[in-house]
Amino acid sequence: MEYERVVIHLRKDIAEDIRKIVEYKNLKDLLFEDKDSYANVEEFVVGCVCYYLRQIKGTVDLSGISKLNSNEMLQNRLHELLEQKRMTQVQLSEQTGIAPSNINNYIKNKNQPSLDHFLKLWITLGCPPLDWLLHRIPKTE
C-alpha cells in the first residue's frame, strides 16, 4: 500500500483538544483496560479522516438501516464487547441498572434493547462504533 504525506494546519485550540483526547484515551486504556498500547495524534487524525470518508462513501450503514424491509434481523455484538472488556453480565447490570434477565436476553440476541437501555449499555461500554456493534443476519425460517 502506498502512502502520501499530507500536511494540515489546525487552529491551536483544535490541536489541543485532539492532544487531550489522545492523552485521555491512552491513560484510560492504561488504567482501566490494562492495555499498554499507545495512540498518538497522527493516528487519531488518520482514524477520524478514514471514518469520515467511509461515511461519505456510504459504507458505514449503521445497523443495516437500508435493509429495514429485508429478510434480515438486527443483531448486536454485546457478548464480544463484554469479553473484550472482561466484564460480566452482573457487572453490566449493576452499572446500568438494567435487570440481569434483560441483559442476558440482549447478550444472547433473543431481544434487542429499547432505546433507553441501548444508550445505557452503549455509554457504559465506552461508546463502541455503531457500525461494528450492530449488524444484520439472514432470518432463519
Average pLDDT for 4-26: 93
| Residue ranges of domains in the chain, CATH in brackets | 12-63 (no CATH), 67-138 (1.10.260.40)
pLDDT in tens, 24-78: 999 988 888 877 778 899 999 999 998 888 777 765 555 555 665 677 888 999 9
Q: CB neighbours (10 Å) of residue 104?
A: 13
pTM reported for the whole predicted model:
0.56
Q: DSSP labels for 84-137? A: HHT--HHHHHHHHT--HHHHHHHHTTSS---HHHHHHHHHHTT---HHHHEEEE
Given a cut of 90, is residue 17 above it in pLDDT? yes
